[in-house]
Chains A and B, each alone.
Chain A
Amino acid sequence: MRVKGIAASNGIAISKVFRLETVVLDVTDAKIENVDEELVKLSAAIKKSCAELQIIREKTALKLDEEHAMIFDAHIQIAEDPEIARQVEDMVKSSKVNSAYAFKTVSEMFAQMFEGMDNEYMKERAADVRDVARRIISHLLGVTLSDPTMINEEVIVVADDLTPSDTAQLDREFVKGFITNIGGRTSHSAIMARSLEIPAIVGTKNILEVVKNGDIVILDGLDGEVVINPTKEEITFYEQKNAELLERIAIWSKFVDKDSVTLDGKHVELAANIGSPDDVESVLKNGGEGVGLYRTEFLYMNNDDFPTEDEQYVAYKMVLESLKNKRVVIRTLDIGGDKHLDYLPMDEELNPFLGHRALRLCLDRIDLFKTQLRALLRASVYGDLHIMFPMVATLNEVRKAKAVLNECKVELAKENIKYNDDVKVGIMVEIPAVAILADQFAKEVDFFSIGTNDLIQYSFAADRMNSKVAYLYQPYNPSLLRLIKMVIDASHKEGIWTGMCGEMAGDQIAAPILLGLGLDEFSMSATSILQTRYSFSKLSYKEMKVMAEKCLTFGTHEEVKAFVENKIKGEK
Chain B
Amino acid sequence: MRREYKIIDEAGLHARPASLLVQAATKFPNNIYIEYKDKKLTLKSIMAVMSLGVPQNSTIAIEVEGDNAKEVLQSLENILEDHRLV
Contacts and interface: CB of A to CB of B under 8 A. Distances in A.
Q: Do A and B come from one complex?
A: yes
Interface of A: 73-74, 77-78, 81-84, 110, 113-114, 117, 119, 121-122, 125, 129
Contact of B42 (A82, A113, A114): A82
Contact of A74 (B19, B48, B53): B19
Interface of B: 11-12, 14-15, 19, 22-23, 41-42, 44-48, 50-51, 53
A84 B42 CA distance: 12
A414 B13 CA distance: 48
Contacts of B19: 73-74, 77
B15 A121 contact: yes
B81 to A, nearest CB: 21
29 contacts: A74-B19, A74-B46, A77-B19, A77-B22, A77-B46, A81-B45, A81-B46, A81-B47, A82-B42, A82-B44, A82-B45, A83-B41, A83-B48, A84-B47, A110-B47, A110-B51, A113-B51, A114-B51, A119-B11, A119-B12, A119-B53, A121-B11, A121-B14, A121-B15, A122-B15, A122-B53, A125-B15, A125-B50, A129-B47
Contacts of B51: 110, 113-114
Contacts of A82: 42, 44-45
Nearest to A74: B19
A114 B42 CA distance: 18
Nearest to B41: A83
Contacts of A129: 47
A117 B41 CA distance: 18
Question: Interface of chain A, helix or strand or loop or mixed?
Answer: helix
Contacts of B46: 74, 77-78, 81
B19 to A, nearest CB: 6
Contacts of B47: 78, 81, 83-84, 110, 129
A114 B50 contact: yes
A113 B50 CA distance: 10
Which of B19, B41, B44, B45 lies at the interface centre, i.e. has the most chain A CB atoms within 10 A of its CB? B45
A84 B45 CA distance: 8
Nearest to A87: B47
Given A81-B47, A83-B48, A84-B47, 14 more contacts: A73-B19, A74-B19, A74-B46, A77-B46, A81-B46, A82-B45, A83-B41, A83-B45, A83-B47, A84-B45, A119-B11, A119-B12, A119-B53, A121-B15
Contact of A122 (B23, B42, B50): B50
Nearest to B55: A119
A271 to B, nearest CB: 47
A125 B53 CA distance: 12
Contacts of A119: 11-12, 53
Nearest to A84: B47
A80 to B, nearest CB: 8
